[in-house]
Amino acid sequence: MSNGTVTTLPSGFTPQAKQALEEAIASGTLHVSYDGKSVTYRSIDELRLALSLVNTALFGPPTRTFLTRTRGTKGL
């Protein structure tokens, strides 16, 4: 890109990358540095996407838990 920004997460999905992304999101900054690597994102949404990719790489895909409630009006 002509403005010098990088839009992909450098290789190496590490807990340090996860922490750096979380801190950047919390502080509202678009620049992330960790393990001698630096990335400038275009938006907070892009940061959130990168965090999602790191979380999936570290912990696997997210799972969903469903709660089903039944209600009866007749006795057994």
pLDDT tens for 48-64 read 999 999 988 888 887 88
pLDDT class of 75 with cuts at 50, 70, 90: low
CA distances from 23 to 29, 47, 76 (A): 9, 10, 55
Task: Kindly write down the DSSP assignment for every residue of 4-43, as one continuous string.
Answer: ----SPPS---HHHHHHHHHHHHHT-SEEEETTEEEE-S-
Please tell me the distance from the alpha carbon of residue 73 to that of residue 18, in angstroms, as a whole number: 50
**Residue range 9-51, pLDDT digits in tens:** 445 688 999 999 999 999 999 999 988 889 999 999 999 999 9
Please tell me the distance from the alpha carbon of residue 51 to that of residue 17, in angstroms, as a whole number: 8
